[in-house]
DNA sequence: ACCTGAACACCGTTCAAGT
DNA sequence: ACCTGAACACCGTTCAAGT
């Protein structure tokens, strides 16, 4: 009875105003959507299905623009690195330290993204730009090519871990003070004969201060004092 | 016709010799089995189901001894760190550098394991032992408590990334030389105006040498030259 | 050419039910 | 007490079929 009318309804052309054209898919749109999903819903929610859903399509459609989930995350990381501000003022050492700090900060904003940088020479255009600027600063500081090259490797590695750690820290559900108190208690209760330092210097272990800034200074000072060719 | 005999067969007691008692489950056995699965079949194969299968049981049985997959992997990491050799000879700097190198090596033997250390103050008994020994060496070197504490943080962070990178490198399916050649080509083909250093100093970027050893030296030198209290 | 429904081959984790 | 079959609520990825 309703068969043919139902059929004709679904065959009827639908006004574009009632059902407006979707924004066309593209790699850039998928990458930005992935970043939004990651930032708003967390790493667990960053699934191909969820990203597709936000774009009002099916997961299969993403594979035209993105090789797989890892490829998507790598692209998201590079997008995030595109937001790094390149310092212009101060001595070369100040600019280098700020560039490293800015890169760490950019990575730390997005849960789990820093980890995809591990195990793989960077190939993203924005990651490479950061590396090129670091090389320029190191050469400005008078380092030889080999030391500068190795230094950039090490600095990028540090950016990755520091970013990952900071991101994990930012995302921790647990109350930070509670967590530290708990670990502190664990350290204090360790057997003192096997862990003499951890049990005895508890206060210093959790001492406040800008550890991130200090770590970057350590790296730069170390690089200046350690030529690659012994 | 065969109904009752089949039924009686399955009800018949089976000799323990024909079907020997399984080794009883325990946290230690599960952790060691996980490590074996990881080393032999890779990170993708490290599933609760696969570990259980090797132990001739169901995945659900593991949850009596292990909170979840992350807990299992954390325990596996600490087990791996239990294999780190603690150096006894040489100056405190030599012993420290060797301890760091040994720790990196231990982590790098097991794909993906280093990553579980990220984002979380270490609490495994073997990780803590490595940290305690590092603290002892730094204090032997005359560092104040605060600098020593921050230094151990930084060194452990470096052990983690370096281990993760090395592990990824060890596990790479692709021919190493081919991969480097590919990246080198990518760098060379970058626009020279935007990437002046990467395009011009290609040789130095891929220069051979012991980068890992150099990186550890950089860290130690930097730590010695950078007190935590400015 | 571009898109997608449906299926494939898995996951981690829980829990009622068994011994 | 200890163990487990089966189910729940998902995954990433592929591909034949549609428009």
CATH number of A27-66: 1.10.10.60
pLDDT given for residue A121 in this prediction: 83
Name the A residues in 159-178 with CB < 8 Å from any B CB.
160-162, 164-165, 167-169, 171-172
Q: B153-193: per-residue pLDDT in tens?
A: 999 999 999 999 999 888 876 667 788 888 889 999 999 99
Q: A191-215: per-residue pLDDT in tens?
A: 999 999 999 997 899 888 899 999 9
Cα-only R_g, chain B? 25
Distance CA B27, CA B35 (A): 12
Asked if residues B44 and B26 have their Cβ atoms less than 8 Å apart, the reply is: no
* Chain A residue with minimum CA distance to B149: A205
Distance CA A227, CA B214 (A): 9
Q: A164 vs chain B: nearest CA distance in angstroms?
A: 7
Concatenate the DSSP letters of all residues of A90-114 into one string. S-HHHHHHHHHHHHHHHHHTSTTTG
Chain A residues with beta carbon closer than 8 angstroms to that of B169: 119
Asked if residues A137 and A92 have their Cβ atoms less than 8 Å apart, the reply is: yes
Nucleotides of D under 7 A from a protein CB: 2-6, 10-16
Q: Per the CB < 8 Å rule, is A168 touching B228?
A: no
Percentages helix, strand, coil for chain A (3-state, rounded to 5) are 65, 0, 35
Superfamily in which the B92-224 domain is placed by CATH: Tetracycline Repressor, domain 2 (1.10.357.10)
Q: Per the CB < 8 Å rule, is A218 touching B223?
A: yes
B209 touching A (Cβ < 8 Å): yes
Size of interface A-B (CB pairs under 8 A): 179
Residue A83 CA to D4 C1' — how many Å?
51
Q: Which of B108-112, B151-155, B202-206, B215-219 has the lowest mean pLDDT?
A: B202-206
Nucleotide nearest to B52 (CA to C1'): D4
pLDDT given for residue B111 in this prediction: 93
Residue B99 CA to D10 C1' — how many Å?
43
Q: Break chain B into its structural domains and give their ranges.
A: 27-66, 92-224
A62 touches strand C (CB under 7 A): no
Distance CA A152, CA A223 (A): 10
Asked if residues B57 and B18 have their Cβ atoms less than 8 Å apart, the reply is: no
Mean pLDDT (chain B, rounded): 88
Asked if residues B121 and A187 have their Cβ atoms less than 8 Å apart, the reply is: no
Q: Per the CB < 8 Å rule, is B215 touching A186?
A: no
- Taking only the tens of pLDDT, chain A with its 230 residues reads 332 222 233 333 333 334 445 667 899 999 999 999 999 999 999 999 999 999 999 999 999 999 999 999 999 999 999 999 999 999 999 999 999 999 999 999 999 999 998 877 888 999 999 999 999 999 999 999 999 999 999 999 999 999 999 998 888 766 677 888 888 899 999 999 999 999 999 789 988 889 999 999 999 999 999 999 86
- Smallest CA–C1' distance to D14, residue: A60
* Chain B residue with minimum CA distance to A209: B228
Asked if residues B113 and B38 have their Cβ atoms less than 8 Å apart, the reply is: yes
């Amino acid at each position: 009875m309703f068969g043919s009318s139902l059929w004709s309804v679904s065959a009827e052309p639908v006004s574009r105003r009632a059902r407006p054209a979707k924004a066309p898919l593209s790699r850039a749109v998928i990458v930005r959507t992935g970043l939004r999903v990651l930032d708003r819903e967390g790493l667990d929610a960053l699934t191909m299905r969820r990203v597709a859903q936000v774009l009002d399509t099916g997961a299969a459609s993403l594979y035209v623009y993105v090789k797989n989930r890892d490829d998507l995350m790598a692209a998201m990381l590079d997008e995030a690195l595109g937001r790094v501000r390149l310092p212009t003022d101060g001595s070369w050492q100040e600019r280098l330290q700020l560039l490293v700090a800015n890169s760490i900060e950019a990575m730390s904003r997005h849960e789990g993204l820093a980890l995809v940088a591990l195990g793989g020479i960077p190939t993203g255009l924005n990651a490479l730009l950061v590396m090129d600027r670091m090389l320029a600063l190191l050469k400005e500081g008078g380092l030889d090519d080999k030391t500068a090259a190795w230094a950039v490797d090490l600095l990028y590695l540090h950016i990755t871990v520091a970013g990952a750690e900071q991101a994990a820290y930012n995302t921790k559900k647990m109350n930070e003070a509670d967590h530290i108190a708990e670990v502190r208690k664990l350290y204090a209760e360790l057997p003192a004969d096997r862990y003499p330092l951890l049990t005895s210097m508890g206060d210093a272990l959790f001492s406040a201060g800008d550890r991130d800034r200090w770590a970057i200074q350590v790296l730069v000072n170390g690089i200046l004092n350690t030529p690659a060719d012994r």
